[in-house]
Structure formats: C-alpha cells, structure tokens
Amino acid sequence: MKPRRFMPSGPLRGTIRVPGDKSISHRSIMLGALAVGETRVTGLLEGEDVLSTAAAMRAMGARVERLGEGEWSVHGVGVGALLQPQDPLDMGNSGTSTRLLMGLVASHPITATFIGDASLSKRPMGRVIGPLSQMGAAFDASEGGRLPLTVRGAQPAVPIAYRLPVASAQVKSAVLLAGLNTPGITTVIEPVPTRDHSERMLRGFGADLSVEVEADGTRVIRLVGEAELKPQTIEVPGDPSSAAFFIVAALLVPGSELTILNVGLNPTRAGLIEVLRQMGGDIAEVNRREVGGEPVADLVVRHSALKGIAIDPAVVPSMVDEFPALFVAAALAEGTTVTTGLEELRVKESDRISVMAAALTGAGARVTETEDGLIIEGTGGEVLRGTAGAIATHLDHRIAMSMAVAGLASRAGVEVDDTRPIATSFPVFEALLDGLAT
C-alpha cells in the first residue's frame, strides 16, 4: 500500500499532455502481433495494463520492443500463427487485456491460462466465455466464470452471429478478434454503440470489416475471416479517460485555466465533455484534427460554476469509465445530480457505485446510492470537508485519481489508501498534478 493525502490546490494553469489512449494502445500491440511484418507505434501508453498485453503477445510469439518513450516496434506472427504460451499469462489488473486476448486464443490451436490480481480475479468473464464457447473454444474457469481460467482454442473456430446482451466493447472486440482466424463471416450485433476502436483499427490493418447501421441505431458489424493483416504505423492519441481527471480538476478549482493537448474525441468516448458542458462547464476545443484515424483536439478548460443535472442513461457507454470523475464534479455542483443505468460500473476494477459513494461520503459529500447509480447533492461550489482517515480504493486506479481531484477541492485534503494502481493507466498522473497544483 502506498497512501497519500492530496491537499487543497491553487489554480491549475498551464499546458499539459496526457499519455496515450489505453484502449487504442492495447489494440495496436495485439493487431501488430497478428500482422506479418513490423508495426511501429508512437504515443503508446506505457501503463501496467498495456505492458501486460505486450508481455502476453511476446509469450505467444510476437517480438514486441520498446524503442524510446512511447515508441514501440511489434513484429507480428500473422493471424493463425500465435504460439502456445509456456507459462500462465499474467493480466495484472487489466480486464481489457484478459477479455480481448481470450478472444484471440479462442480461435488459435493453443491453450492459455489467464491469471490476474485480486481485483481482476473478481470480475465476470462469463460474458466472453459464452460467445467464444459458441465459436468452439473450451473453457475451464474458476467459480462464477472468473480467473484463473484456461482457454483451449478451437481448430477451426466456427463463425457466429452474436447479439451483445450488455453494452460492452470488450465483449464485442473479443468476438471480432476471434473472428480474425475463423473461416467465414463473424457478426456482432450491437444494439447500443460502444467504443469502436477495434473496428477502426481492424480496418486500418486491412481486415474486411463492414458496419451497417439499422434504422433504430443497432450496429451490425461483419468481419470476414480468415483475415490477413498488414503492418501499420500508428500514432496513439491522448486518452480522454485520463484527461477527464484534469478536466474536472480545472473546472472545480477557482482561477484555473488549463490546456490539455492532443485529447482523443472519438464520439463513442466523449460523453463526459458533453455532460460537463450541460452542467455549465467551460471546455473549448481548439485545433481539431485526426490522429491515428481518430478525432483529436486540444482542450482549454476554465473554472466554472457547475449545476447538477439528471444524466441521460443513453450517454453511459460513451463515458462509462468517467463516472468516478463526474461524481466528484457533481459533489461540488449547485443542486442535485442524478445518474441511472450504471449497473456495469459495479463490475469494473471495483464496484464504482458503492466505492465512490463511500469515498465521497467520507470526504463530506452528500451522496445516496441506488441500485443503478448515485444521487448527489452538490455543495454549490463550496469545497468538501476532506477526509480524516484514508478512503479505500480497492485496487481501482480511477477511484484513486478521482479522489485525488476531490482533495484539490477540499479543506483538509483527501487521503487515498493506495496510489499504486494509478500506474495501470496513468503512470505520470501524480507528477503532472504536482507540476500544476500550487
């Protein structure tokens, strides 16, 4: 455990750059490892979760090398040619690595065992075991469909048409990645759109992938196997989920004016910015451009008086990882913020509904937990009391960073019980914050 008290801060001013997008970083290494030849990646997030993916792809035969800061080279083995890993694949804290790699193994003639930390070992894998079993893979999982688990790949796998029962980009991606080495057309039907980085990048690597949008918005994604992927040069945009903490911090701390460079603004990820603007947040976008096939802009965020709102549950998938940060913003807004439709938050790195309810209450906020969300009575701009002892983060990086932001807008500071998990997604978070906070 590495506790730290995050103290009240003066205005956040200046310019920062957040590290590369975690979702895109994982996918660039996985697809690079499946292409024949060398893929070059710049701006890769060097967080522990992505390093778990890199280690796993190495264990399955790819050459994955770090050339410099954020600069990586991946020599792929080709779709169908992944090697049997000799040891269990240690996924650490990373649900994305686990679920996407289960998809890859499922259609290769290899067997792999997945292990992870205490948080990951509590998370449900049944959601990928279901469709991947239909494709012919065999699973030996711990109770409740959890890690440690062993996947025996199908040879050959059979293509399926799978309608997602939960809005999950990880499940969608697991099925699509399994489809790469499956003869015929693998179809994923997505009633509610989730992040589409897999689709964009699969196309970029030359896969035959089409997306049909039906009248009601349902997306039908078809991938033709067996695919041949061509190596690419990828520039990873900054992670909007990491930018989120600094956006909220700048909105909350009086006198702040912060520029955040190179933030990915894929519409399937940008829900938080829209919601914060509805709450009265002053967030300007400058220099809109495209980086690595993804929309990107620099954001200028100014301190704003926020107002509580009822958040439309339809936006949840586009900000699914940003609710802990949003809850902190709501705790200082004027009036009530009501969130619903957040059941998925209960199966993230921690149960983010109850863990944030406890953490914010401990810091002096007024919070009511419901089955599928939180109701938060904001202070109207007055800083939170802060915590006496440490709040429990349950091995969840986003809880730690959100409560660090709450500390900036508190009287006594907020103590977080363990800052180590921050390194899974945002290793330079504390250094960036310390460089800004005065």
Q: Whole-angstrom Cα distance, residue 2 to residue 123? A: 24
Q: Which of the ranges 73-81, 113-121, 163-171, 265-273 carries the binding residues for ligand S3P, by CB under 6 A?
A: 163-171
Q: Contact at 8 Å (CB) between 376 and 356?
A: no
Q: Contact at 8 Å (CB) between 147 and 180?
A: no
Q: Is 304 in the site for ligand S3P (CB under 6 A)?
A: no
Packed helices 352-362 and 323-332: angle between N→C axes, nearest 10 degrees: 30
Q: Contact at 8 Å (CB) between 137 and 107?
A: yes
Side-chain-facing half-sphere of 69: CA atoms under 13 Å: 3
| CB nearer to ligand S3P: pick between 173 and 393 | 173
Q: Is 321 in the site for ligand S3P (CB under 6 A)?
A: yes
For residue 3, is the peptide bond before it cis, meaning its omega torsion is within 30 degrees of 0? no
Interface with ligand S3P (CB under 6 A), residue from 175, 320, 357, 375: 320
| CB nearer to ligand S3P: pick between 62 and 174 | 174
| CB nearer to ligand S3P: pick between 173 and 181 | 173
- Site for ligand S3P, residues 13 to 32, rule: CB under 6 A: 23
Indicate the DSSP class of residue 371. Answer: T
**Residue 120 Cβ vs ligand S3P, minimum distance, rounded to whole Å:** 12
| CB nearer to ligand S3P: pick between 12 and 44 | 44
Q: Contact at 8 Å (CB) between 261 and 17?
A: yes
Q: Whole-angstrom Cα distance, residue 223 to residue 214? A: 17
| Count of Cβ atoms closer than 10 Å to residue 38 Cβ | 15
The sign of the torsion formed by the CA atoms of 99, 424, 113, 57 equals positive
Interface with ligand S3P (CB under 6 A), residue from 119, 168, 232, 350: 168
**Residue 300 Cβ vs ligand S3P, minimum distance, rounded to whole Å:** 26
**Residue 192 Cβ vs ligand S3P, minimum distance, rounded to whole Å:** 11
| CB nearer to ligand S3P: pick between 23 and 186 | 23
Q: What do you get for the CA distance between the two ends of the chain, in Å?
A: 26
| CB nearer to ligand S3P: pick between 244 and 408 | 244
Annotation says 418 is catalytic: no
Interface with ligand S3P (CB under 6 A), residue from 173, 304, 387, 402: 173
- Site for ligand S3P, residues 77 to 106, rule: CB under 6 A: 96
Q: Is 169 in the site for ligand S3P (CB under 6 A)?
A: yes
| Active-site hit among 196, 321, 396, 418 | 321
Q: Is 266 in the site for ligand S3P (CB under 6 A)?
A: no
Q: Is 396 in the site for ligand S3P (CB under 6 A)?
A: no
**Residue 243 Cβ vs ligand S3P, minimum distance, rounded to whole Å:** 14
Interface with ligand S3P (CB under 6 A), residue from 25, 52, 170, 268: 170
Q: Whole-angstrom Cα distance, residue 276 to residue 245? A: 12
Nearest alpha-carbon partner for 324 in 396, 388, 412, 221: 396
Q: Contact at 8 Å (CB) between 206 and 223?
A: no
**Residue 134 Cβ vs ligand S3P, minimum distance, rounded to whole Å:** 19
Q: Whole-angstrom Cα distance, residue 248 to residue 327? A: 10
Q: Contact at 8 Å (CB) between 101 and 178?
A: no
Q: Contact at 8 Å (CB) between 54 and 62?
A: no
Q: Which of the ranges 166-174, 304-312, 380-388, 399-407 carries the binding residues for ligand S3P, by CB under 6 A?
A: 166-174
**Residue 219 Cβ vs ligand S3P, minimum distance, rounded to whole Å:** 15
**Residue 397 Cβ vs ligand S3P, minimum distance, rounded to whole Å:** 10
- Sort strands 89-90 and 111-115 into parallel, antiparallel or unpaired: parallel
Active site residues: 321
Which residues contact ligand S3P (rule: CB under 6 A)? 23, 96, 168-170, 173, 195, 320-321, 344
